Amino acid sequence: MIQTASTDNVAELHLMKSSTIPTLPITHCCPACGLLCDDLVLTATLPMNIKNACAKSVSFYNNAWQENLSVPLLAGKASDLNTTIQAAADILRASNQPLFSGLGTEVQGMRAMIGLAKKTNATLDHMHSEGTVRNTLAMQNSGWQTTTLTEIKNRADIILAIGTDIVTSHPRFFEKLVWNASSLFDKPSPEIIYLAAPKNTPEDNLKAGISPTGKMPTIITADTSKLPEIISTLNALMNGKKITVDQVAGVAIATLLEVLDKLKTAKYAVITWSASNFQYTHAELTVQSITHLIAKLNESTRVAGLPLNSGDGDSTVNNVSTWLSGYPTRSRHFEGQTAYDAYYFSSTQQLKKCDALLWVSTFNAHLPPHCDAPTIVIGHANMQFDKAPDVFIPVGIPGVDHAGSIFRMDSSVAMPLKKLRENQLPSLSEVIHQIEALLT
Ligand code: SF4
């Protein structure tokens, strides 16, 4: 049982089980979102204190210490590691067209998954790829100009957030990168503009855009699904086209002109967006429209994009897949070749065709989708199944139960994850290597 108390950036976890390693306190990297804050300080004394944590990270560590299913299951009954690894290998050996989905893992886990995919002719798709692929399609089609978190911290003077409040997905973004007092250069605090943040955005989240001196952000309210019209209008205005209406999707043309003026006069504007919030048909065209706007603005000033990721190792998994095979996920390994198809190799499509599902979720206890084919689940020990899969193998959480590496959301830095506690759970890569060894 865990009790959690949080005040500002200090949280307490009262641990009643699992021993912590004796070398604590340590400075720790939090894998709960793509910011990968590396300033969390965890102490060895009980109750455990976590300094510099946000609510999302407290929830992450809370879940890591919940009562859990630390025993492997075979058809819903308690089993042992060797028996379940053998059963998983038997399912994959009998499969011609397995789907490896979820893929919530770090570098080492994904390297192992690709090795097993090559051996079993599997299709790979990350659980958050629906959002990621909107960015990938835009980038593949026409390229883009993006920046790093360090550049934002040191240079940004305007941040335009499109279809996102930022802090819902990346809670300490403003604290770490925007209102920080440790910028390399003497620059003004950035001006914040929210454009079409989702309707369900908590009001407090938008308050994160208020500067330490009390300067309010500009909030432009609009339906997120209307962003195609709004961004297209910004592009039209940027290209000198005459707009004959007073407003588009409820946003005054005068307001859009003001936004453009601010972007044009900024020394280093950053335009950020969350593609996972663009939940409408062909949303990749909105991303492409944003990247066109950035490219055009760069003819006269400096503007960069920052696509927000969704977490569960999505940036890491796609980077590892790309450097090992040439393609991000939504790829299939077949007879030594790799094919890529952003639509056909999606989990949604492959769940209709696959003859085995291997679902992986090590950071969080995300459950697998329904699948009629034999299902293997390898992941977080706190999974609560309505219907037990054919095989369940609980594994350690990267950055809690074992060390690892994970890419930050800007893909420019791979951060080391440290081990926090001792327990009996193997890592995902250990389990995958053992399954693969049985298939030789
Ligand atoms: S902002 Fe993200 S990385 Fe930083 S402490 Fe919170 S959840 Fe962890």
Q: How far is the CA of 52 from the centre of ligand 1 (A)?
A: 9
Residue 116 — left, alpha, or beta (φ > 0 → left; ψ -120 to 50 → alpha)? alpha
DSSP result, 144-209: --B--HHHHHHH-SEEEEES--STTTSTTHIIIIIS-S--SS--PPPEEEEES--TT--HHHHHTT
Q: How far is the CA of 35 from the centre of ligand 1 (A)?
A: 6
Do residues 83 and 17 share a domain?
A: no
| Domain end (from 64, 82, 103) | 64
**Does residue 25 have a cis peptide bond before it, meaning omega lies within 30 degrees of 0?**
yes
Q: Please determine, for residue 143, whether its predicted confidence score (pLDDT) is greater than 60.
A: yes
Q: How many domains does the chain have?
A: 3
Contacts of 337 (CB under 8 A, 6+ apart): none
For residues 167 and 91, give the distance between their C-alpha atoms in angstroms, rounded to a whole number. 41
What integer pLDDT is reported at residue 182 of this predicted model?
A: 75
pLDDT in tens, 88-101: 999 999 999 999 99
Residues with CB under 6 A from ligand 1: 30, 32-33, 35-37, 53-54, 56-57, 170-172
**Probe ligand 1: pick from 30, 58, 205, max atoms within 8 Å of CB?**
30
Residue 99 parent element (H or E):
strand 98-104
pLDDT in tens, 404-422: 999 999 998 999 999 988 8
CA atoms within a 13 Å half-sphere pointing along the CA-CB vector of 320 = 26
Do residues 238 and 363 share a domain?
A: no
Residues 388-399, mean pLDDT to the nearest whole number: 96
Residues 431-439, mean pLDDT to the nearest whole number: 97
Q: Please determine, for residue 179, whether its predicted confidence score (pLDDT) is greater than 80.
A: yes
With bands split at pLDDT 50, 70 and 90, how would you rate the model's confidence at 27? confident
Of 438, 432, 439, the C-alpha closest to 111 is 432
Supply the residue whose CA is at minimum distance from atom 3 of ligand 1: 36
Q: How far is the CA of 110 from the centre of ligand 1 (A)?
A: 22
What integer pLDDT is reported at residue 396 of this predicted model?
A: 96
What integer pLDDT is reported at residue 5 of this predicted model?
A: 34
Q: How far is the CA of 325 from the centre of ligand 1 (A)?
A: 30
Question: Which carries the bigger pLDDT value, residue 46 or residue 3?
Answer: 46
What integer pLDDT is reported at residue 317 of this predicted model?
A: 97
With bands split at pLDDT 50, 70 and 90, how would you rate the model's confidence at 43? low
Q: How far is the CA of 59 from the centre of ligand 1 (A)?
A: 10
Question: Which carries the bigger pLDDT value, residue 138 or residue 4?
Answer: 138
Give me 340's structure tokens. 């890529």
**Probe ligand 1: pick from 6, 10, 35, 178, max atoms within 8 Å of CB?**
35
Q: What is the CATH number of the domain that holds 190?
A: 3.40.228.10
**Probe ligand 1: pick from 37, 38, 167, 176, max atoms within 8 Å of CB?**
37
Q: Which atom of ligand 1 is nearest to the CA of 56?
A: 7
Do residues 168 and 303 share a domain?
A: yes
Do residues 212 and 291 share a domain?
A: yes
| Domain end (from 252, 275, 307) | 307
What integer pLDDT is reported at residue 82 of this predicted model?
A: 97
What integer pLDDT is reported at residue 421 of this predicted model?
A: 85
| Domain end (from 245, 278, 307) | 307
Do residues 17 and 159 share a domain?
A: no
Q: How far is the CA of 252 from the centre of ligand 1 (A)?
A: 36
**Does residue 394 have a cis peptide bond before it, meaning omega lies within 30 degrees of 0?**
no
Q: What is the CATH number of the domain that holds 433?
A: 3.40.50.740
Do residues 29 and 108 share a domain?
A: no
Domain interval for residue 433: 73-128+312-438
Neighbouring CB atoms inside 10 A of 299's CB total: 8
Do residues 205 and 189 share a domain?
A: yes
Q: How far is the CA of 50 from the centre of ligand 1 (A)?
A: 12
**Probe ligand 1: pick from 39, 57, 308, max atoms within 8 Å of CB?**
57
Provide the edge-to-edge strand list for the sheet that holds 331-334: 77-78, 73-74, 391-394, 375-379, 356-361, 98-104, 123-126, 331-334, 337-340
Residue 303 parent element (H or E):
strand 303-307
Q: Please determine, for residue 184, whether its predicted confidence score (pLDDT) is greater than 90.
A: no
Q: Please determine, for residue 424, whether its predicted confidence score (pLDDT) is greater than 60.
A: yes
Neighbouring CB atoms inside 10 A of 128's CB total: 24
Do residues 104 and 18 share a domain?
A: no
Of 160, 168, 155, the C-alpha closest to 54 is 168
Give me 235's structure tokens. 């592009």
pLDDT in tens, 200-231: 898 889 999 999 999 999 999 999 999 999 99
The mean of the pLDDT values for the chain is 91
Angle at 37 between CA 203 and CA 220, to 5 degrees: 25
Q: Please determine, for residue 106, whether its predicted confidence score (pLDDT) is greater than 70.
A: yes
Question: Which carries the bigger pLDDT value, residue 231 or residue 21?
Answer: 231
Do residues 201 and 262 share a domain?
A: yes
Residues 10-35, mean pLDDT to the nearest whole number: 66
Do residues 293 and 189 share a domain?
A: yes
Q: How far is the CA of 291 from the centre of ligand 1 (A)?
A: 27
Q: Which atom of ligand 1 is nearest to the CA of 32?
A: 7
Q: How far is the CA of 54 from the centre of ligand 1 (A)?
A: 6
Residues 47-64, mean pLDDT to the nearest whole number: 86
Q: What pTM value is reported for the model?
A: 0.92
Do residues 78 and 100 share a domain?
A: yes
Do residues 124 and 91 share a domain?
A: yes
Q: Please determine, for residue 6, whether its predicted confidence score (pLDDT) is greater than 50.
A: no
